[in-house]
Amino acid sequence: MLNDDREQFRGDARRRLLLVGGCLGGAFAVLCGRLFFLQVMRGGQYRTLAEDNRISLKPISAPRGRIFDRENRILVDNSPNFEVVVTPELAGTLRYLLRRLGRFIDLSEDEVKLLLQQARRQRSFLPLRVKSHLTWEEVSGIEVRIHEFPGVDLQSQTVRSYPFDSLASHVLGYLGEPSDADRKRFPKLSFRSGDLVGKSGVEQHFETTLRGREGVLEMEVNAVGRHVRELHRTPPQAGNDLLLSLDADLQKEGQEALGDNTGAIVVMDPNNGEILALVSNPTYDPNQFMRRMTHAQWQELVTDPNRPLSNKPIQGQYPPGSTFKIVVALAGLAAGKLDPRESVFCGGSLIQGDQHFYCWRRQGHGSVGLVQAITQSCDVYFYKLAERLGIDAIERQARKMGLGAVTGVDLGGERPGLIPSRSWKRKMFKSGWFPGETMITGIGQGYVLTTPLQMASMISTVANGGTVYRPSLLRLQPGQKPDVMSQNTFSSHHLAVLRQALEAVVNDPLGTGNKARLDGEIRVAGKTGTSQVARHKREKSGKLIKTTNEKLQDHAMFVCYAPVEHPKIAISVVVEHGGHGGATAAPLAKRVMESFFSKRDGPVG
């Protein structure tokens, strides 16, 4: 009986194993059949699909933030732009494709070479921008033949536009393709072919604010580059807008006032450091850079002797001339070495050792005190005052007022100017400081250099009572406090005497700045300056020998604020090779002030 049970067990086990084996064999046969069908019968079809259908990642550019003036007028906008792009890995022979495209769009051989270089520097699946700003004829010519150009796509993008053309171009800046320096400047940004980045001005300084975050479109494409279907879309994020402190009306008035003259005008609010206008002339049109500027156009800009790409309010360094007498006067008052009532005789010149130091008025000014010396800009008075003070006291006061250092304005490329000192001269020339150098510094000549923005900040400091604000191009928001760089502690009596003198410069019949006087009740305080470009030649009698070389003519300067009682505006003007500040620069300041006050209060006078 036991043997019968064992035999039955063995029989059941064999049947189960046969059943399981049969099932496994059947399943394996089905799997083999399916594999044979897929790999052999349909293998070619699926191989084609695997090779020809790919996922293309198409970046979606993000609009840059717009830029507005203080009254919400658009200074920089984005406008639609048609462009043609190509994905190199889908294009076959890229060189051949680009040359064929050149029959329908303006594409030179040099541009083809440049595009081929760009394609080698990036991944082949990333699109390459071939040309922007296509005309309707170019768009239609490619659109009807798009099937003949594998990997080519027509796109509608936004492009930077500057609706006021050259207005405030040095403030706004322009865009260009990123260089190695840009990649170092913005290490957190990933640039691809065809990207644009701020190259100067606000566009550069606020690049990370204005620049949006691009989106991505995932598309399935076939062998000839045609889109099969959209897989996923990540929308772009637009950049942030900027509200500037600039007043477009004042900016325009300043540019028109300079006309064909080379120079700069800076207009500030002396009570918070906001820049209302920052004019540099000659100017340029930033729209040029968005239309793929030619080499000839670029060479014309960079070789122009008047330097249209230079932002003169922050990069132009000029001897301040007699406008610097404000600093010297404050240094003398602060040091207790200047009594405003003390008279000094000016006979037209001063002898120091074997050197003659001349006053601008050959016959002299006679006996003058501080108020008269500033009103009539007597050089001899300030020669003697500087000699009494010494260079150290002058340097200290100048630096307290923000001179000799960058102001920290929201722009790149600012230059610091120069306030000379004993240590500076030893370092630069391996020489000691001489008394005659102090005297010439006293009238803003010699080694002294300032920028127009620094001089606007300096006169603002006098206007507001001693506060040096960091100049700002962004409009302050309600409740936001201005950035204070330093604070001068002026005696109220000393400040009153200086302001009296500056008011007389414009309003006294003998004042050198009469041409800045406004009609009506608004009174202006200011100071003229004549900045020497080259050392003047004189006859033995001391008479000035005038030069006919325009490039050796003096620069004309003027600084001012108004109204005297409660200043609302401060201005500095530099006209290169413009001659006397009172004759050339002061009238330009008057024109800007008239525009400012007529806009605020109605017509002046």
Q: Which residues are catalytic?
A: 322
The identity of residue 11, as a single letter, is G
**CA quadruple 120, 122, 127, 132: dihedral sign:** negative
Closest residue by Cα to residue 585 from 558, 547, 546, 552: 558
**Largest alpha-carbon pair distance within the chain?**
153
Closest residue by Cα to residue 401 from 359, 339, 353, 464: 464
Task: Tell me the sheet residues that pair with 527.
Answer: 559
Strands 242-243 and 67-68: parallel
Q: Are 239 and 62 in contact (CB under 8 A)?
A: yes
Q: Read off the tokens for 47.
A: 């191989």
* DSSP classification of residue 73: -
Where residue 485 falls (left for φ over 0; alpha for ψ -120 to 50; beta otherwise) is alpha
* DSSP classification of residue 260: T
Q: Read off the tokens for 426.
A: 């030893």
Residue where the block lists tokens 């294009």: 91
Q: How far apart are CA 344 and CA 347, in angstroms?
A: 10
Task: Give phi and psi for 325, each to the nearest 5.
Answer: -65, -25
Closest residue by Cα to residue 465 from 333, 567, 393: 567
Q: Are 446 and 433 in contact (CB under 8 A)?
A: no
**CA quadruple 461, 463, 467, 473: dihedral sign:** negative
Closest residue by Cα to residue 395 from 347, 356, 351, 446: 446
Burial of 20: CB neighbours in 10 Å, binned 0-12, 13-18, 19+:
exposed
Q: Which helix (H) or strand (E) holds 598?
A: helix 586-601
Burial of 34: CB neighbours in 10 Å, binned 0-12, 13-18, 19+:
exposed
**CA quadruple 142, 143, 148, 152: dihedral sign:** positive
Q: Are 355 and 301 in contact (CB under 8 A)?
A: no
The identity of residue 241, as a single letter, is D
Per-residue b or e along 90-112, where b marks 16 or more CB atoms closer than 10 Å to that residue's CB: bbeebeebbeebbebbebeeebb
Whether a cis peptide bond, with omega within 30° of 0, leads into 150 is no
Per this entry, what is the length of the chain? 605
Number of DSSP helices (H) and strands (E) in the chain, helices first: 21, 23
Q: Which helix (H) or strand (E) holds 221?
A: strand 215-221
Residues 6+ apart with CB under 8 A from 28: none
Taking CA atoms, 405 is separated from 5, 402, 583, 585, in Å, by 109, 6, 30, 25
